[in-house]
């Protein structure tokens, strides 16, 4: 009799015990049926894609784990042009991608075909179906800028629905799918720009404008410039690798769940209480309803009544962690969990770490940052079988 598959074997952090039941349907129809069967049993269930954003309990999961492995990329009819100059911005192309398609393999495919729009999201682990859940983003691009719609099996109705990007409530690392709407992403539709006609004239298809200073510096260009798609992808992969954010079986720093905490969004007035060298980026102004904002809705904001406009800024979680005295490579005594030696935003499994040790270190980081700066860092991963509370 073979040993059961553990969640440690299926997640990039490599912690977690065996679930009661693990199912991995091969196609979309199978995924729908497996999900409906699990929901009909009234037993706990959880979705698992690439396991890159998951921390699973050491005791495993007392229920069904639905491992989404469906594959396939389909080119649909070209999306309607939006009045742009096709010679400059390329021609619209829409693709439909199965939820289990590995995200970085999809990005590599789009770059190879000369399709621009998600090239700066290279190297992000996980599956395509997980991408809209937290509106993945990196180096000046977010999924929201290319997402057209998703096909979604709704938990409440048991029906397959097509949800447009506008219906998903996409924000910084969030969506309605992360905020309580339950179900299964079956497929994702993306609107990209086919830049391949440029290659005949310029020798290469160009990216979307580079919108992130660090990436622009790495490429030796100005913010707003365009570069060959393949060149941008390789530069992003190098930057991510330098931070331990590209999976590598020989590098323990990549045995992580990626960025463990999101960059907090706080009020502009609260941000002024922080040291002058604390990085901050202005966010869109928020119109407030006449109500009290809970402490955990905006980090660093105490209870306050609504006013006409709330001005917010995004802070650097990595800066807050480092300046609370937690350095790269830090670990609690005797623990197998550590802060990455390359980037303070990642918690890594240095060998034999348990989920409890991951949680202990995460709570320690939260406590230090809150004590020093009054900001409560919010974890980014999905927790299966336990919480940080």
> Minimal CA–CA distance to 345: which of 274, 240, 273?
240
Share of the chain above pLDDT 70, in %: 88
Query: Do residues 290 and 356 share a domain?
Result: yes
Instruction: Say which CATH number the domain at 374 has.
Output: 3.90.78.10
Q: Is residue 149 part of a domain?
A: yes
The verdict on residue 203 lying in a domain is: yes
**What is the distance of C-alpha 284 from the center of its chain?**
21
When mean pLDDT is compared across 26-35, 246-255, 307-316, the lowest value belongs to 307-316
Report, as an integer, the average pLDDT of 328-354.
96
Give the whole-angstrom CA distance, residue 129 versus residue 50. 10
Helices (H), 156-206: 196-202
3-state secondary structure (DSSP) of residue 246: coil
Co-location of 61 and 79 in the same domain: no
Which pLDDT band holds residue 307 (cuts at 50, 70, 90)?
very low
- The whole-angstrom distance between residue 290's C-alpha and the CA centroid of its chain comes to 32
- CATH number for 228: 3.30.465.10
Helices and strands, number each (H, E), in the chain: 9, 21
Q: Is the pLDDT of residue 112 over 50?
A: yes
Contacts of 292 (CB under 8 A, 6+ apart): 303, 304, 305, 306
* Residue whose C-alpha is closest to residue 243's, from 151, 340, 158, 323: 340
pLDDT at position 249, please?
Answer: 84
Residue 2 lies in a domain: no
Residue keyed to tokens 């129809």: 29
214 part of a folded domain:
yes
**Is 249 part of any domain?**
no
The reply to whether 227 and 266 lie within a common domain is: no
Query: Residue 305: pLDDT above 90?
Result: no
Give yes or no for residue 298 having a pLDDT over 50: no
Residues designated as active site: 173, 259, 380
The residue among 212, 119, 134 whose CA lies nearest residue 171 is 134
Dist CA 243 CA 343 (whole Å)? 5
Residues 48 and 99 both lie in one domain: no
pLDDT digits (tens, 9 = 90+) for 151-185: 999 999 999 999 999 999 999 889 999 998 999 99
Query: 101 and 151: one domain?
Result: yes
Domain limit, last residue, from 176, 210, 242: 242
User: SS3 of 154, please?
Assistant: strand
The pTM of the full predicted model, rounded to 2 decimals, is 0.86
Number of structural domains (the chain) is 3
- Are 211 and 80 found together in one domain? yes
What pLDDT is recorded for position 286?
A: 61
| Percent of residues, the chain, with pLDDT higher than 90 | 78
Coil, strand, or helix at residue 119?
Answer: helix
Phi/psi region, residue 189 (left: phi>0; alpha: psi -120 to 50; beta: rest), is beta
Q: Please, what is the Cα angle at 193 between 188 and 233, to 5 degrees?
A: 85
Q: How many residues are there in the chain?
A: 389
pLDDT band at 200 (very low <50, low <70, confident <90, very high): low
Residue with tokens 């809209």: 132
Is residue 262 pLDDT above 60, yes or no?
Answer: yes
Find the mean pLDDT for residues 13-42: 96
Owner of token pair 């609107």: 191
pLDDT at 84: 46
Cβ atoms of 89 and 108 within 8 Å: the answer is no
Based on the fold, state whether residues 48 and 77 are members of the same structural domain.
no
Other C-beta atoms closer than 10 Å to the C-beta of 286 total 13
Cβ neighbours around 15 below 10 Å, total: 26
Q: Answer yes or no: do 324 and 372 share one domain.
A: yes
Structural domain harbouring 161: 73-242
Per-residue pLDDT at 80: 52
Spatial separation of the C-alpha atoms in residues 306 and 275, rounded to whole Å: 27
In angstroms, rounded to a whole number, what is the distance separating the alpha carbons of residues 348 and 258?
9
Q: Mean pLDDT throughout 118-146?
A: 96
Decide if 206 is inside a domain: yes
What is the pLDDT averaged over residues 264-268? 92
Predicted pLDDT at 88: 60
User: Per mean pLDDT, which range of 13-22, 165-174, 190-199, 344-353 is the poorest?
Assistant: 190-199
How would residue 3 be classed by pLDDT, with cut points 50, 70 and 90? confident
Q: pLDDT band for position 330 (50/70/90)?
A: very high
pLDDT, position 161: 98
Quick check: 290 pLDDT over 50? no
Same domain, yes or no: 129 and 173: yes
Q: Please give the Cα distance from 216 to 142 (Å, whole number).
A: 17
Q: Does 120 have pLDDT greater than 60?
A: yes
123 sits in the region (left: phi over 0; alpha: psi -120 to 50; else beta) called left
């Amino acid at each position: 009799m073979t040993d059961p598959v553990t969640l440690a074997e299926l997640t990039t952090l490599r912690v977690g015990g065996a679930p009661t039941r693990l199912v991995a349907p091969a196609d979309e129809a199978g995924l729908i049926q497996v999900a409906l069967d699990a929901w009909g049993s009234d037993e706990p269930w959880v979705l698992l894609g690439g396991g890159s954003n998951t921390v699973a309990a050491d005791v495993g999961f007392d229920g069904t784990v639905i491992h989404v492995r469906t594959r396939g990329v389909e080119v649909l009819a070209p999306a309607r042009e939006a009045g742009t100059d096709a010679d400059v911005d390329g021609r619209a192309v829409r693709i439909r991608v199965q939820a289990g398609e590995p995200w970085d393999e999809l990005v590599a495919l789009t770059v190879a075909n000369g399709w621009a729009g998600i090239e700066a999201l290279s190297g992000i682990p996980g599956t395509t179906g997980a991408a809209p859940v937290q509106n993945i983003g990196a180096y000046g691009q977010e999924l929201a800028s290319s997402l057209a719609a998703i096909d979604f099996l709704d938990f409440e109705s048991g029906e397959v629905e097509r949800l447009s990007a506008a219906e998903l409530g996409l924000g910084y690392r969030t969506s309605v799918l992360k905020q309580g709407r339950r179900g299964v992403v079956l497929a994702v539709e993306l609107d990209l720009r086919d830049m391949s006609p440029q290659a005949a004239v310029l020798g290469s298809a160009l990216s979307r404008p580079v919108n992130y200073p660090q990436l622009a510096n790495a490429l030796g260009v100005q913010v707003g410039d365009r570069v060959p798609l393949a060149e941008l992808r390789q530069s992003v992969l190098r930057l991510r690798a330098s931070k331990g954010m590209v999976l590598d079986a020989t590098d323990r720093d990549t045995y992580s769940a990626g960025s463990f905490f999101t960059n907090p969004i706080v009020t502009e007035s609260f941000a002024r209480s922080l040291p002058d060298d604390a990085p901050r980026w202005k966010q869109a102004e928020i119109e407030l309803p006449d109500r009290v904002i809970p402490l955990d809705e905006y980090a660093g904001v105490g209870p306050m009544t609504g006013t006409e406009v709330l001005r917010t800024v995004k802070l650097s979680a990595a800066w807050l962690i480092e300046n609370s005295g937690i350095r790269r490579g830090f670990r609690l005594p005797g623990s197998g969990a550590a802060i990455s030696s390359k980037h303070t935003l990642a918690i890594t499994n240095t060998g034999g770490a348990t989920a409890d040790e991951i949680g202990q270190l995460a709570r320690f980081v939260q406590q230090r940052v809150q004590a020093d700066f009054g900001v409560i860092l919010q974890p980014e991963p999905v927790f299966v079988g336990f919480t940080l509370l």
